[in-house]
Structure 1
Amino acid sequence: MLLLLPPSEGKTAAPDGAAPVDLEALAHADALGGRRAEVLAALARVSARSDAADVLGVGTSLAAEVERNTHLASAPAAPAARVYTGVLYAAARLAETADAARADDGVRIFSGLWGAVAPGDRIPAYRLSMGVDLPGVGKLSTAWRAPLGAALDARAAGDVVVDCRSAAYVAAWRPRPRTGEWVTVRVVRDVGGRRTVVSHHAKHTRGVLAGHLLRRAGSPPTTARELLGAAAELTGQVIATEAGTGLAYRLTEATLHAAASRSAPATLELVTAPTHR
């Protein structure tokens, strides 16, 4: 299994005094190290400009985070599993996974700055999305495409790629057809027979699935059918509880939908429904 996650917008900075990032120690340093150094330097230059917020596509309220981009090479670093925060990561609890080697082998977190990192890779908190056209580098999803192919094509071959990323990160790397199985995860909420996608709820459910795949007993799935079986183990379990109302949502169904074409992914659909606990 190769589980692909998006980064989180929110990031928790490492404690003061922690050692800085070591580019040579990050996953796939041979394939991604050169591009990482290039993007890191370009981001520092851009973040020092008066129009940095506009170039990076962020609001003025994030000025402190943009300023931090100017000295990331010396900023304190921590495991990516702790730096990335937000709905998906709170549900996945990657930092609590007992088998760190399993997580570091099976999970890649995509990033506009780092390309892709393992949960245990030590990185500083930063502000840069994959959709940015970074002066000196270009559109990041395009700039990362060849290096990510060199890093991940062989790793994905003969395995199942479980894709929880958003479209901007999919644009940076897509599994090659016929080298393995590629499955995206779609989450819908069923209320009275009407199924809808709710962003916050979907992120949380993907996080629950990610944590389950990493902590369940037995070997990780290596095919789409095995992935479906692993996801179905969550059927009947409470996936989320709404703050305020206390309304619980259980997973009621997991279904695998075939790919629409040879180059498209199959879809693992997870259906949740409200229930009284």
Structure 2
Amino acid sequence: MIAILSPAKTLDYASTLPDLTWSAPRFPDESGQIARGAARLGAAKLASLMRISPKLAELNAGRYRDFADAEERPALLAFAGDVYAGFDAKSLEVAQFDFAQDHVRILSGLYGLLRPLDAIRPYRLEMGTRWAPGRAKDLYAFWGDRIAALLAEDVRASGSDVVLNLASQEYWHAVAGKLPGDVRVIEVDFRENGPDGPRFVSFHAKRARGMMARWMCEHRVTDVAAMQGFDSDRYRFAGAEGDRWMFVRG
């Protein structure tokens, strides 16, 4: 089983790192091409494409300009948004990092498909950005079937035929409909109890995605049916419609 996460816009390149053996991203040519193309855009164009402030645009223009010499750290410890607050990777044991390396993947507009210990440089580039280097109209077209093909290889290598989709729709779109027919995809919907029934709250759902991926690593779960036992932060399995599972908190 492979659990799929989205990356985060917020990054952490300051905290102390545990002693781990890092790996290298597996699309170096493609990510290099994207980074070089982004470096030529300049801050004003990046601000327009990404809908970010001039200050953030300048930061990211500098990141791409100096990309080749930038500091690296493992992806699971570099991303620091809500999903990764839920995962809390810094408190994992070494054996749990090893399990994550084999069973967790992170979709990325720049790097394609990351393993948790793949060393990455600071960047910001959402998968849904309507730009790509060369003749591709956007990053979905640039990546084509390559991410899905590598993910399918990883699923087979995990000894399973299941993907646990904990990614956002924006990122999942990069592989949706492109995986082999024998790969089963479990979609997970996190909800909160409310006066009118279970409701979706984005902040809590993001954290829950990270918590579920962590729970899988803590318990070293390889049978997807066992994931229905996920119970972190008062979540409980609330039923399924086919391969769409709902967990409700409260």
Instruction: Confirm or deny a common fold (TM above 0.5).
Output: yes
Q: Which has the higher contact order (CA 8 A, sep 6+)?
A: 2
For residues 29-57 of structure 1, give each alpha carbon's deviation from its aligned partner in whole angstroms, at most 9, with x where no partner exists.
2xx232222112112212x3542211233
User: C-alpha separation between the residues in 2 aligned to 1:149 and 1:206?
Assistant: 20
Decide whether the 8 Å contact of 2:44 with 2:54 is kept in 1.
no
Listed as ranges, the gaps of 5+ residues in structure 1 are 16-21, 240-249, 259-265
Identical-residue share of aligned pairs (%): 24
Counterpart of 1:132 in structure 2 is 129
For residues 245-277 of structure 1, give each alpha carbon's deviation from its aligned partner in whole angstroms, at most 9, with x where no partner exists.
xxxxx224342320xxxxxxx21211011xxxx
Alpha-carbon RMSD: 2.2
Counterpart of 1:119 in structure 2 is 116
Counterpart of 2:221 in structure 1 is 220
Counterpart of 2:74 in structure 1 is 79
Quick one: which amino acid aligns to residue 205 of structure 2?
A
* Cα gap change, 1:253 to 1:55, in 2 (>3 Å): closer
User: C-alpha separation between the residues in 1 aligned to 2:71 and 2:103?
Assistant: 26
Matches within 5 A, 1:92-103: 92-98=87-93, 99=95, 100-103=97-100
Quick one: which amino acid aligns to residue 211 of structure 1?
R
Counterpart of 2:162 in structure 1 is 160
What TM-score do the two structures reach when normalised by structure 1? 0.77
The answer on 1:268 being equivalent to 2:241 is no
User: C-alpha separation between the residues in 2 aligned to 1:251 and 1:194?
Assistant: 15
User: C-alpha separation between the residues in 1 aligned to 2:223 and 2:36?
Assistant: 38
| Higher Rg | 1
Q: For residue 71 of structure 1, report the CA deviation from its aligned partner.
A: 1.3
Matches within 5 A, 1:3-152: 3-13=3-13, 25-27=23-25, 29=26, 32-46=27-41, 48=42, 50-66=44-60, 67-98=62-93, 99=95, 100-137=97-134, 138=136, 139-152=138-151
Q: Please list every run of at least 4 consecutive aligned residues from structure 1 whose deviation after the TM superposition is greater than 6 angstroms.
A: none
User: How many residues are matched?
Assistant: 235
* Cα gap change, 1:193 to 1:135, in 2 (>3 Å): closer
What TM-score do the two structures reach when normalised by structure 2? 0.85
Q: For residue 177 of structure 1, report the CA deviation from its aligned partner.
A: 4.8
* Cα gap change, 1:78 to 1:190, in 2 (>3 Å): same
User: C-alpha separation between the residues in 1 aligned to 2:194 and 2:128?
Assistant: 34
* Cα gap change, 1:159 to 1:14, in 2 (>3 Å): farther
Greater shift in the superposed pair: 185-194 or 83-92: 185-194
User: C-alpha separation between the residues in 2 aligned to 1:77 and 1:33?
Assistant: 14
Counterpart of 2:241 in structure 1 is 257
Decide whether the 8 Å contact of 1:14 with 1:124 is kept in 2.
no
SS at match of 2:145: helix
Which protein is richer in strand relative to its size?
1
User: C-alpha separation between the residues in 2 aligned to 1:123 and 1:74?
Assistant: 12
Decide whether the 8 Å contact of 2:34 with 2:132 is kept in 1.
no
